[in-house]
Structure 1
Amino acid sequence: MILIGILYIYGCVYVSEAVIGLSSVSSLYMPYDYAKGKGVYDFNRNAVEETAYDVRNKLIYTAGSRYLHIVDVSKPTKPIIIHKHRLTQNVEDIAICGNYFAMIQEHKDFPALDGFLKIFKVYNPTTHSLDRIHTIKGKNDEDINRNPPNEPTKFAGSELPKLPCMPMLPQFTVHREFEYIQYGIRKPYAPSSLSMNLEPESIAFNNDETKLYVTLQENNAVLTIDMATKTLESVFSLGAKQWANLRLDASSGDGGTKMRKYPIYSLYQPDGLAYFENNGEGYVITANEGADVELDQGGVTFHESERASTMAERNMFSKQISPDLLKSLGNNRQLGQLEISQIDGLDEQGKIKTVFFYGGRGFSIWRASDMHQVYDSGDEVALKHKQYFNSIFNADSTTRSPTNNRPTDLKDVRSDNKGVECESIVMGEAQGKRLIFIAIDRVSTIMVYSLPAGSTKPVFESIFRGGRLDKTFQELYKNMEMGDLRPSDMMFLDAKDSPNNSPMLMVTGRASGTISLYHVGNVINNSSSRLKADTTTWTLVLHIWVVMLAIGVLRV
C-alpha cells in the first residue's frame, strides 16, 4: 500500500554575506526491512548507506544493510520506490557506469573473509529486475597477519564483458616499505606489512580520467595511479596540522564550547576528496575526518588511540613535553579526554614527545602534482558552527535515549573525539560560481563554500542543517522532521543531469535513513518565515527557517 501525504520539511540555513545555499525539494524516509509486504521504518537501522544516480533514467540506487532500493526521482518532489532487492551481505559501496551497476559486498558471515564485487545490468523497467552478469570474489583471511594487501583490483577473465567507464587497474603492492615509512606513510599495526596496513577510502579522477587519486585514511596519505600505464605513480604523506595558533575544543566535559590553543598536532586523515583545476593546474580537495585503527579479529586485539589523561596516568609522556602542556593533558576539562595516538611522535624510550590526535577538523586543498598544501581551513569549520549552530556544536546524532534526548542535548559530546568531522566532499557549479559542499558527519550539517575563478582560497557561503532541533529524536522521526542525520554520501547534479533541469544536491542520511534532494541556488531572505532554533548573535547572523511544502511518497 502506498500512502501519499503532505509533509512540512524544515531546514535551517545560516548565511553571511553570500547567498548560495540549499533549499529542500523532497526527503524520502526509507524502510530498513519489510513485514508482510509493508515497509518497516526506524532510524539508526542502516536503511541507507550508499547511493548512486542513474542519469539516463533519473533513478537513485540506494543500499542499506538489508535491501537495495531503486527510487524514481523523475518527479523530484514525489520520489517513489519502484524496486527492492534483498541483500544477504552488507554493501560497502555501489556505482553506476553507463548501462551497468556494481556493488561491493562483505562476506555474509564474517567481514574479514572473502568479499564480492557484483556487476548487474541497470534496472529494467519492463521486467522490473536487476540482471547480474558477473561476480568477482575477493581474497581475504581471518588472520590479520596473513591478509592480502588492500588494493585496487584489476578486472580480468574472458567471461567478463568489456564494460564502458570501468578502468582496468593494476594489482597494488608496496615494495619499498622502509622508504615509504621514512617518508611519513603511517603503518598503524606494526606486525603486518605496510601493504596490509594500507586502507583505500575514497577516489577521484582528474578531468580527463588519466589519473586516479585515492585517500588512504588511516595512513594519512594519498596515492596516485597513472591510468594510461596502469601503474602506481606516487604515495604522498600529508603530514600533520599544527594547532599552536588555532583554537580547539578537545573536551566534552568542559561545560560548553571552550576553544583554546594548544601546542599539539593532528593527522589530516581525509575521507572524501574531489579534484578540480585552476588555469590548467590540478588540485585535490580533501575532507579531513580522521580515523584511528582498531583491530579485533583472528586473535589480534589492537587499539592505537587512548585518552590523554590515561596516558598521563601511565607516565607515557616524554620529559620533552612542557609542564604546561603536561598539565593540560591530564586535565579532563582541557586535553585529558582527547583521544590521541599511542604510536606517533615517540622518543627513543617509546614515550610521547609530540602529541598527535586524529583528523584535521576541516578541509584542505593540495596541489595534485606533489600534494603540496595550498590551503587549509584551520579552525574555521568549528568556529562557523560555534557562531551559527552553537546549540549543537560538536554534537552527536545518535543517542541511547531517543525518547528523551533532543539534538541539542548532545552538544559537545564529540569534542574529545574528532569534533567537526568533515566526511564527504563534492563540487559543482551553480549561479555562475564553483561550489564546494562539505558534509559534517555527527553534527549533520552541510557547509557550502565558493571558489573564485583562479583562486585556491574558498569563500564561506552558508551552512545548512535539515530538520528541527526542538523535539526528541523519536518525535522528529515520527513527524519526519529529522533531517539528514550523518550525511555519509552526497552527489551534485548539474542542471543537465538533474530531474528538474536545475542544479541539485543529493544527500544520504545514514542515521536518519533518508534520501534528500536540495535545490542549489540563492537563499531567499524571508523574515516572515523565521523560527528560532538557536541562540546566536543576531547582529551577525541572518537566521532563516525555510519551511517548504512537499508532496511525496512517504511509505511503501
Structure 2
Amino acid sequence: MKKTLFFLISALLFSTSCKELIEEILDQPKDDKPKKESPSTFKEVASITLGGEGAAEISAFDKESKRLFVVNNDGDSRIDVVDLEDPENPLYTSSISIVEYGAGVNSVAVSHGLLAAAIEVDPTEDDGIIVFYDTHTLTKIAEVAAGALPDMVTFSPDGQYALSANEGEPSGYEEGDIDPIGSITIIEVKKRFTAKTLDFTAFEGMKNALATQGFRVFGPGASLSQDVEPEYITVSENSKTAWVALQENNGLARIDLTSKTITDILPLGNKDYSLIENAIDASDEDDKIKLNSWPVLGMYQPDAIAAFTVGGLSYIISANEGDAREYDGLEEEVRVKDLKLDPAIFPEVAALQEDDRLGRLQITNTLGNTDDDDEYEALYAFGGRSFSIWDGLSGQMIYDSGNEVEKLIIEAGLYDDGRSDAKGVEPEGVAVGKMGKRIIAFIGLERVDAVMVYDITNPYQPQFVKILESGDAPEGLVFVPAEDSPNEKSLLIVSSEDDGQVKIYQP
C-alpha cells in the first residue's frame, strides 16, 4: 500500500497534465499571477486639471467606488469627484459643495466606503467640523464637531477611527486677538461617530524642558497648549498609535488610541548646516547654484509624515518643509543681514552678511539670542531641506537625507535658485506604500514640482530610485497598492495646489 501511494504521488508531482489540472482547480494559472512591479518604472500615465490655484490640494482614493475625491478651494469650496475606473483616463463627474458649512475644506480621507472632510468655519478661531459622506451615493452621513481649524483628517488602517489635526491658529498676537488651543479630535466611526478632542494642557509644566531639546513655544503670551499647532497625523499599521506633526513647534506628538491620550511630545532638535553632508545653497543672488557649509542650524519642522513598520517596529518618515509665523504682533522671519551678530561667534560678520553669502538667508528671530542682548549668537533657518526617518517609540532620528535630495535635483536640472534663501527644494508631502516586499516612499518637493522616489525597506539606509516631475507645487500624495487599484497596478496620485492638476503614475 505504501509503495503504491509513493508511486501515485510521484506521478502526480511529475505529470504536466496534473499540474495544469491543479492550477485550474485553484484558479491560479501562471499567466494570472501578479507580475512583479518595480518602483523604478513609475511613469506618468494620466493628468486632469480641476481648476487653478487652490483647485487640487489634497486627494483621497476610494477602492470601493473607484473614485478620487479632491479638495477644491478655487472659487466656491467643494470636493471634486473623479472617476478612476480607468486610471489612464480620469473623468471628472461631479462635486460636493461644502459652502453651507464654512470657510473652506482643508483635507479629505477615505475608508471602507466613507469619505471624511475637514472643514474650517468663519471665523477660523471657532471650532470646525468633520463631515462624513457615503462614497457611493455622495450623501451626508454625519457631522462631527472638531477643534479650531481642522487642517488634516485621516483614518486608522482598520477604519475604526477618524482623526483630525486641529491647528488652532491665532487671529494675531495683539490685544483683542484670539489664540485657540491646538488639538486632535478622535472620532470612533463604528460607535455612531462618538468624538473626543484632546489638547496639550497636561504638558504646560514641561515647556522649559522641551525647549532645551529643540521644541519651540514662542507665541507672545501663549501657553504651550495654545502654541502647539497640529499639522498632520499618521497612524500605525496596527491602528493603536498615532503621531502628530507639530510643525511650527518643531516636534511630534504621540497618541495612544486605546486610551485616547497624548502620551508624549517628541522634540526633533536641529540640523547642523556647517557639516559638509548638510551643505546648502543659502543665496538667491549669487548667480550660481553651489552647496556650501554655513554656521547655521535648521529646524526640521515637518509638514507631512507617514508611519510604516519594519520587523514589527514602527517608524515615521517626515517631509521637512519648515514654516514661519507671520501675524500682527509676531513676524519671525528675517534675513541674516538684518540682524546684529555677535563678532565673538561670527568673526567675519561683514563678509558673512553679504547677499552672495549668508545675508539673504531667511531665519527666525525667536531663537539664537542666547544672552538677551542685541546680538545673535546662533542662527536658525526654517526646515531641513530633506526627509528624515524617526524611531516611532523614542522619537530619535535614525536617518536624514542630508543634502542628497538637493544634489539630485541640481543634477537633474530642476533646482530653483530663487528659493535658495528660503527653504530650498521644500519637501512637503510624503506617502509610503508596499510593492511586493519593498517599502517605497514618495516625497513631494513643493518648490521643484517633483516627487522623489526612495526605497526605505531598510529605514537606516534608504536608497534613491528616481525623480518624477509633477504639477505646480505638489501637495497631496496618495499611494494605491496594486491589490486596491482598478487596473491591478500600483498607482501614485499627486495633486498640485498651484495649477489644479492631478497626475497619475504607475509602473
Report if TM-score (shorter chain) is over 0.5.
yes
Q: In terms of mean alpha carbon deviation, does 135-144 or 380-389 score higher? A: 135-144
Which amino acid in 2 is paired with 1:214? V
Are 1:134 and 2:132 counterparts?
A: no
CA distance in 1, matches of 2:439, 2:111: 25
- Match of residue 375 from structure 1: 399
* Partners of 1:117 and 1:138 within 8 A in 2: no
- Match of residue 69 from structure 2: 61
Q: CA deviation at 1:169?
A: 4.6
Q: In terms of mean alpha carbon deviation, does 219-228 or 175-184 score higher? A: 175-184
Are 1:240 and 2:270 counterparts?
A: yes
Q: 1:442 aligns with which of 429, 439, 447?
A: 447
Instruction: List structure 1 runs of 4+ shifted beyond 6 angstroms.
Output: none
Are 1:72 and 2:80 counterparts?
A: no
Q: 1:354 aligns with which of 372, 378, 401?
A: 378
What CA deviation, in whole Å up to 9, does each residue of 1:301-353 have, x standing for no partner?
Answer: 31111011111xxx3x22432213x2354111111111111111222224321
* Partners of 2:353 and 2:359 within 8 A in 1: yes
Q: CA deviation at 1:87?
A: 3.5
Residues 237-386 of structure 1: pairs in structure 2 closer than 5 A: 237-245=267-275, 246-295=278-327, 300-311=328-339, 315=340, 317-324=341-348, 326-350=349-373, 351-386=375-410
* Partners of 2:479 and 2:492 within 8 A in 1: yes
CA distance in 2, matches of 1:223, 1:333: 38
State the secondary structure of the residue aligned to 1:47: coil
State the secondary structure of the residue aligned to 2:225: helix
With CA pairs under 8 Å and 6+ residues apart, which has the higher RCO, 1 or 2?
1
What CA deviation, in whole Å up to 9, does each residue of 1:142-178 have, x standing for no partner?
Answer: 565643311012449xxx9725xx7955521233434
Q: CA deviation at 1:273?
A: 1.0
How many residue pairs get aligned? The number is 435
Which amino acid in 1 is paired with 2:132? I
Structure 1: which 5+ residue stretches go unaligned? 1-17, 32-42, 396-411, 467-483, 522-556
Q: Are residues 22 and 150 of structure 1, via their aligned partners in 2, closer, same or farther at CA, if it must alter by over 3 Å?
A: same
CA distance in 1, matches of 2:489, 2:263: 38
Q: CA deviation at 1:99?
A: 3.1
- Match of residue 226 from structure 1: 256
Q: Are residues 328 and 375 of structure 1, via their aligned partners in 2, closer, same or farther at CA, if it must alter by over 3 Å?
A: farther
Q: Are residues 349 and 486 of structure 1, via their aligned partners in 2, closer, same or farther at CA, if it must alter by over 3 Å?
A: same
What CA deviation, in whole Å up to 9, does each residue of 1:427-467 have, x standing for no partner?
Answer: 11226532111100111111111124x5521011111114x
Structure 2: which 5+ residue stretches go unaligned? 1-37, 149-167
Q: Are residues 167 and 514 of structure 1, via their aligned partners in 2, closer, same or farther at CA, if it must alter by over 3 Å?
A: farther
Q: CA deviation at 1:506?
A: 0.7
CA distance in 1, matches of 2:410, 2:350: 26
Specify which structure has the higher proportion of helix.
2
- Match of residue 202 from structure 2: 175
CA distance in 2, matches of 1:367, 1:167: 31
* Partners of 1:30 and 1:48 within 8 A in 2: yes
Q: Are residues 194 and 438 of structure 1, via their aligned partners in 2, closer, same or farther at CA, if it must alter by over 3 Å?
A: same
Which amino acid in 2 is paired with 1:349? D
Q: In terms of mean alpha carbon deviation, does 53-62 or 344-353 score higher? A: 344-353
Q: CA deviation at 1:276?
A: 1.8
* Partners of 2:320 and 2:388 within 8 A in 1: yes
Identity across the alignment (%): 27
Q: Are residues 432 and 116 of structure 1, via their aligned partners in 2, closer, same or farther at CA, if it must alter by over 3 Å?
A: closer
CA distance in 2, matches of 1:516, 1:234: 37
Residues 34-183 of structure 1: pairs in structure 2 closer than 5 A: 43-44=52-53, 46-65=54-73, 66=76, 67-88=78-99, 89-108=103-122, 110-124=123-137, 129-136=138-145, 138=147, 142=171, 146-155=178-187, 162=191, 169-183=196-210
CA distance in 1, matches of 2:144, 2:233: 22
* Partners of 1:217 and 1:271 within 8 A in 2: yes
Structure 1 vs Structure 2 CA RMSD: 2.2
Q: Are residues 143 and 507 of structure 1, via their aligned partners in 2, closer, same or farther at CA, if it must alter by over 3 Å?
A: closer
- Match of residue 541 from structure 1: none
* Partners of 2:318 and 2:430 within 8 A in 1: yes
Q: CA deviation at 1:217?
A: 0.3
* Partners of 1:487 and 1:507 within 8 A in 2: yes
- Match of residue 151 from structure 2: none
Q: In terms of mean alpha carbon deviation, does 376-385 or 174-183 score higher? A: 174-183
Q: CA deviation at 1:21?
A: 4.2
The structure with the largest alpha-carbon Rg is: 2
* Partners of 1:21 and 1:463 within 8 A in 2: no
CA distance in 1, matches of 2:440, 2:71: 27
Q: Are residues 56 and 429 of structure 1, via their aligned partners in 2, closer, same or farther at CA, if it must alter by over 3 Å?
A: same
* Partners of 1:188 and 1:304 within 8 A in 2: no
- Length-normalised TM-score, structure 1: 0.74
* Partners of 1:169 and 1:227 within 8 A in 2: no
Q: CA deviation at 1:103?
A: 1.2
